[in-house]
Structure 1
Amino acid sequence: MSGGRVKQALSPRGRRGWTGLTPAAGAAVMAPGILSVGLHLAGRATPSLIAFALAAALWLVLALDFTARLVGDRGRFRAEAVTPAALTAVAATTVIGCRISLFGWNTAAAALLALAAALWPGLLLAVLRHWGRRLPGTAFLVCVATQGLAVLAAVLAAACDWYWLAWASLAAFCLGLLLYVQALRRFDLREVVRGAGDHWVAGGALAVSALAASRLTAEPVWTGGGHEVLRRTTLVTLALSLAWYVLLLAAEVRRWRPHYDGRRWATVFPLGMTATACLSAAGPTGVGALRPIGEVLLWIAVGAWLLTFAAFAAGRPAAGAGPTPRSGP
């Protein structure tokens, strides 16, 4: 399947065309990618490999399309680069890198970290320069992309004993939290009820922050007071992400939206990320109850992915889904 067809299929208007880089493009990689990590942590090797194969294949298609636009259509690339959704390129790359590291392929994971880190500053600055008010859930991708770098850096620091990278991870983690606060100030809270799927990133951004904090907590670099601060930060961010989870789920029940929308891939990723954060945090924080919670949430996320994929495969674009969500008012 060509990159153009993938983009067309994943857009909110289904086969009626692709009007820009929506959250569906990168989120369609991020969703199975984080499910693969979560399934690995839960000891489900075969489903984890299947999810990884799908995520890796989609990442390659989208990477080729990203490169083609960068080289062959600079005008379109610049126009898309100012939208928060463009940061899914960074986030998706870090998710793939984290899963690859679990295979022990740390050189490849480090290469993906370098690629994501090279893309991140330019895309982030472009997005921040064009921020407005009353933004959709994609605004939180400034946090997700930054925390993705923090997670992958922490994973590689532990795997390769690159302790200097742990400090870089800590810096990215702190910056990610600041960016979350800024995104929250601009988030249109009405999206909680009327959002088409990407509003779940509001909670998912805190979940990936909790995952980053849990990986930092596990690092031997910090002991004593530093370790305890990171431990408590992990629990606080995880608790807040779970609070978002409950709020957003209640909003879904209140206003049921069963039709397919490409932005629903941006719902699956936060569901999987919250589950993975719980599974990852159980050990470093010493709160064993987080593991069974994470396992339950993981299978909910798998079910959400299957439902979203079934709706996508059925080829029923949302009636009146509207245009691609904007990066500003």
Structure 2
Amino acid sequence: MFSFLKQKAVHLFPGYFALVMATGALSIGTYFLGMDLIAKILLYFNVAAYISLWVLKLTRLFCYFPRMAADLMSHSVGPGFFTLVAGTSMFGCQLIIITDLYMVAMYLWGLAILLWLVIMYTFFSAVTIRKDKPALAEGINGAWLIVAVATHSISILGTLLVSHMERGHDVVLFFTLCMYFLGCMLYLNIITLIFYRFTFLKLDHSALTPPYWINMGAVAITTLAGSSLILNAKYWPLLVEITPFLKGFTLFFWIMGTWWIPLMFILMIWRHLYHRYPLSYDPQFWGMAFPLAMYTTSTYQLSKALGVPFLTAIPKFMVYIALAAWVFVFLGMIHHLFFHRIHYSKSVEERSL
């Protein structure tokens, strides 16, 4: 059993916690839209997924530390480690909204902040001081935006926890407001490089990986972070004062995310239909499922924050697209894991003969 665990952990995709992110965002969205059964099923699944991924991640940490360290300091795969932060925060949000487990969510928030500090400064220090840096076309991809996603996820979870706190509302909301603005800064910096890479450098269809959907997903979670602050402004007078600004700024990011959706569908068609690129399972596809789920959830909360109920028409149909994407990626993962398990069992039997 342990040998099988090590075999799965050695090449574990650094961004696999995007599975937890996608499931958490979809669970929250379905809960808001009255699909309670689906929301709870996704919650139970996420509990198992979160624990399982941590077992694999810790196995890799202790058994294959040099590999893991090399991945963390890589331009191409290093940003995937920020899914640990975002996955932990989204799981905490899921526990609060669906089960009211505020105490567990509080510990998860603390863990997310600790992970954010370690990963943020390890990764950016490493890619800054390394001598042999890749060209922009090879070094940057959509996964870099998970840096902003992770930052905003901490803001959202902290804001949700405020209503359960007896004191310290102003301190926590000041911190979550700062994380919101920091996430906005990180997104605007990184998306500028990605937009330049899209429009002025050669983009081969094979390089258009699913994490580029986070171009949209990162601003979707920005929208959710801003909406959460607006909806909880009553707990801190300063938030009340800047609410008009927050409403405009949050709407700005939602519009940006909405603009990305048609373009990403067109590019996906260009990649898989026009160039016939194989549509086989890859853990990076969770980077596509997450943005669709997050856009659904964030649009619903934005409609409440701005007081514009007609916007709820969008999540009412987007939720089915998000569910279809999640099911598609999940079935691909099950197929992938099942056949790899059979292959592993056969190889063990052959070695024992």
Change (3 A) 1:75 1:6: closer
Equivalent runs, 1:142-291 vs 2, <5 Å: 142-160=147-165, 162-163=168-169, 164-187=171-194, 188-189=197-198, 194-219=207-232, 220=234, 221=236, 222=238, 225-256=241-272, 258-291=279-312
CA-CA distance at 1:298 after TM superposition:
1.4
CA-CA distance at 1:4 after TM superposition:
6.0
SS for the counterpart of 1:260 is coil
In 1, Cα distance between equivalents of 2:203 and 2:165: 42
For the aligned residue pairs, the C-alpha RMSD in angstroms reads 2.5
Residue of structure 2 equivalent to 1:26 = 17
Q: Percent identity?
A: 24
* Structure 2 residue 50 is the aligned partner of structure 1 residue 59: yes
User: Which whole-Å deviations, capped at 9, do the CAs of 1:242-297 have from their partners, x for residues lacking one?
Assistant: 11112111212333253322211110001100111001111111121221201211
Contact 1:3 1:61 in 2 (8 A): no
In 2, Cα distance between equivalents of 1:224 and 1:53: 36
Equivalent runs, 1:129-140 vs 2, <5 Å: 129=125, 130=127, 133-134=136-137, 135-140=140-145
Q: Which consecutive unaligned segments of at least 5 residues does structure 2 have? A: 129-133, 339-353
Residue of structure 2 equivalent to 1:110 = 106
Contact 1:91 1:144 in 2 (8 A): yes
TM-score between both structures, scaled by the size of structure 1? 0.86
Residue of structure 1 equivalent to 2:347 = none
Change (3 A) 1:297 1:2: farther
Q: Which consecutive unaligned segments of at least 5 residues does structure 1 have? A: 9-16, 318-329
CA-CA distance at 1:306 after TM superposition:
1.0
Q: Kindly provide the amino acid, as one letter, of the partner of residue 20 in structure 2.
A: V
Task: Give the length in aligned residue pairs.
Answer: 308
User: Which whole-Å deviations, capped at 9, do the CAs of 1:126-167 have from their partners, x for residues lacking one?
Assistant: 222316633111110110110110110111113436522111
CA-CA distance at 1:77 after TM superposition:
3.1
CA-CA distance at 1:225 after TM superposition:
4.4
Structure 1 stretch displaced more, 36-45 or 181-190: 181-190
Residue of structure 1 equivalent to 2:131 = none
Structure 1 stretch displaced more, 156-165 or 50-59: 156-165
CA-CA distance at 1:173 after TM superposition:
0.5
SS for the counterpart of 1:122 is helix
Residue of structure 2 equivalent to 1:13 = none
Q: Kindly provide the amino acid, as one letter, of the partner of residue 189 in structure 2.
A: Q
* Structure 2 residue 41 is the aligned partner of structure 1 residue 50: yes
CA-CA distance at 1:224 after TM superposition:
5.3
Structure 1 stretch displaced more, 27-36 or 203-212: 27-36
TM-score between both structures, scaled by the size of structure 2? 0.80
In 2, Cα distance between equivalents of 1:268 and 1:115: 24
Change (3 A) 1:251 1:176: same
Contact 1:140 1:184 in 2 (8 A): yes
* Structure 2 residue 127 is the aligned partner of structure 1 residue 124: no
Change (3 A) 1:72 1:284: same
